Amino acid sequence: MELDVTKIREDFPILEREVNGKRLVYLDSGNTSQKPRQVIEAVREHFERHNANVARSVHTLGTEATAAYEGAREKVARFINAASPGEVVFVKNATEAINLVAYSMLGASIAKGDPRLSLGPGDEVVITEMEHHSNIVPWQLLCERTGATLRWLGITDEGRLDLSNLDELVNPRTKLVSMVLYSNILGTINDTTRIRVRTREVGALLMLDGSQAVPHRPVDVRALDADFLAFTGHKMLGPTGIGVLYGRSELLAAMPPFLGGGSMIETVTMERSTFAPPPARFEAGTPPIAEAVGLGAAVEYLTAVGMESVAAHETALTGYALDRLREVPELRIIGPSTTEGRGGTISIDFAGVHPHDVGQILDGEGVQVRVGHHCARPTCMRFGVPATTRVSLYLYNSTEEVDALVAALEKVRGVFG
Partner 1 sequence: MEQLDRLYHDIIMDHYKKPRGRGLREPFEAQVHHVNPTCGDEVDLRVHLLGGTVADVSYEGMGCSISQASASVLHEVLVGRTVTHALSTVEQFTSMVEDSRGETTPDEATLEDGIAFAGVAKYPNRVKCALLAWKAFKDATVKAVAQAEASND
Binding site for partner 1 (CB under 8 A): 353-357, 360-361, 364, 371-373, 377, 380, 386-387, 415-416
Please count the other Cβ atoms lying within 10 Å of the Cβ belonging to residue 81: 14
Least spacing, CB of residue 372 vs partner 1, in Å: 5
Dihedral angle computed from the Cα positions of residues 367, 372, 378 and 381, in that order, rounded to the nearest 10 degrees: 100
In the chain, the amino acid numbered 117 is L
Residues near 87 by beta carbon (within 8 Å), at least 6 away in sequence:
77, 221, 246, 247, 248, 249, 252, 278, 279
Task: Considering the complex, state which of residue 116 and residue 354 has its C-beta at the smaller distance from partner 1.
Answer: 354
Task: Considering the complex, state which of residue 35 and residue 373 has its C-beta at the smaller distance from partner 1.
Answer: 373
Task: Considering the complex, state which of residue 298 and residue 408 has its C-beta at the smaller distance from partner 1.
Answer: 408
Task: Considering the complex, state which of residue 218 and residue 372 has its C-beta at the smaller distance from partner 1.
Answer: 372
CA 165, 169, 347, 350 torsion-angle sign: negative
Task: Considering the complex, state which of residue 21 and residue 172 has its C-beta at the smaller distance from partner 1.
Answer: 21
Active site residues: 375
Q: Which residues pair with 386 in a beta bridge?
A: none
Least spacing, CB of residue 400 vs partner 1, in Å: 21
The DSSP bridge pattern shows strands 370-372 and 388-392 to be antiparallel
Least spacing, CB of residue 376 vs partner 1, in Å: 11
Least spacing, CB of residue 24 vs partner 1, in Å: 17
63: burial class by Cβ within 10 Å (0-12, 13-18, 19+)? middle
Q: Give the C-alpha distances (Å, rounded to integers) separating 142 from 103, 125, 136, 243, 280.
A: 7, 9, 10, 21, 24
Least spacing, CB of residue 390 vs partner 1, in Å: 12
In the chain, the amino acid numbered 5 is V
